[in-house]
Amino acid sequence: MTDTELIVLVVFVGMGVYISYLRAELYKAKAVAAMMAMLIHDVATKDVEIERTEDGIRVYKYGADREASSNKC
């Protein structure tokens, strides 16, 4: 195997790994977009409430007891 063939092989393997990485990132982005669309729909239909906290946001069912729904298991 010559040096040129080795370089071409390394480039193709690198491109394959990079394409796999990009596909995984695209899958994550689609999942986040779907979750955001569901959240926007729930907020628009007043099924949930959003509260800003120090460490981000919290989503509560509309009219639910906030103490009970904020407990973590």
Sequence-separated (6 or more) residues with CB below 8 Å from residue 57: 50, 51
Domain count, the chain: 1
Give the CA distances from residue 2 to residues 7, 11, 12, 13, in Å, rounded to whole numbers and listed in that order.
9, 14, 16, 17
Q: What is the pLDDT of residue 69?
A: 56
Question: What is the rounded distance in angstroms from the CA atom of residue 67 to the CA atom of residue 3?
Answer: 66
What is the percent of the chain where pLDDT is above 70? 85
Asked if pLDDT for residue 72 goes beyond 60, the answer is: no
Convert the pLDDT of each residue in 1-22 to its tens digit.
899 999 999 999 999 999 999 9
| Cα three-residue angle 39-45-64, rounded to 5 degrees | 80
Nearest to 42 by CA among 54, 34, 53: 34
Provide the residue range defining the domain that includes 38: 3-70
